[in-house]
Structure 1
Amino acid sequence: MLRQLVGRLAALDVAADAEPMLAAEAAALRTEQRLDWCLRQTKHGAELQWADCRRRRTPCPHPHVIDHACTGPRVPVVPARSRRRPTPVPDGQLTL
């Protein structure tokens, strides 16, 4: 898994699968809740960038990755118990 802040002004904390794929494959997996990212090699190492290369006329030469989606079992959320004691008087009546 790759994890990085993507963007310069309002960065997103991205956790993406490390398996590189072609831009078209990543675009096919893209949903409203799961984005694809362009993976570029810089002198500092791998860097995730917005996949705005779809605007190009030629296919993007860089590999792409997709946001990570956990496949483990979901842990049920147990609602917290209320610790507030019931009032000794009926609702709407004030206590002194």
Structure 2
Amino acid sequence: MSRYSRSSNGARRTRCRCGRTVLRQLVGQRAALDVTADADELTAAAAAALREPNRLDWCLRKRADGPDLLWSSPSHRANCPHPHVIDHQCTAPAAGPPRTRTARTSSVAEGQLALV
């Protein structure tokens, strides 16, 4: 049985559209979550205090091939020595409604073909 490689699964630093540096990673082997977390490192207690139903905190492990995010479940050690990060909440304005196309008028009479 082969072990899966962590080399391609680690977190990578990117910029969000709001300008903040974030960590992005697919966390999990089967039903992976696409995680975008703030790059600011917190203690386990500080991250747990910011946790909400739709905002999780993550344990940030530093591996030889880069940072790796692990879910900080309720059974996670309260005195975990690793830094923790929290899900990112983007502050950039939401994209506006899609632009509608305006109808073009044709210079030829209806029923005639126009060469383009």
TM-score (norm 2): 0.60
- After superposition, residues 1-96 of structure 1 pair within 5 angstroms as 1-52=22-73, 54-56=75-77, 59-77=79-97
Deviation at 1:77, TM superposition (A): 4.0
More helix by share: 1
Mapped contact 1:54–1:60 kept (Cα < 8 A): no
**What are structure 2's unaligned runs of at least 5 residues?**
1-21, 101-116
Distance 1:23 1:50, change over 3 A: same
Amino acid at match of 2:90: C
RMSD: 2.1
**Relative contact order (C-alpha < 8 Å, sep 6+): which is higher?**
1
Counterparts in 2 of 1:37 and 1:17: CA distance versus 1, 3 Å: same
Residue 53 of structure 1, CA deviation? 7.1
Q: Deviations over 1:16-39 (max 9, x none)?
A: 000000011111111111110000
Secondary structure of 1:20 counterpart: coil
TM-score by length of 1: 0.71
Q: Name structure 1 gaps, 5 residues minimum.
A: 81-96
* Secondary structure at the counterpart of residue 52 of structure 1: coil
Aligned residues: 80
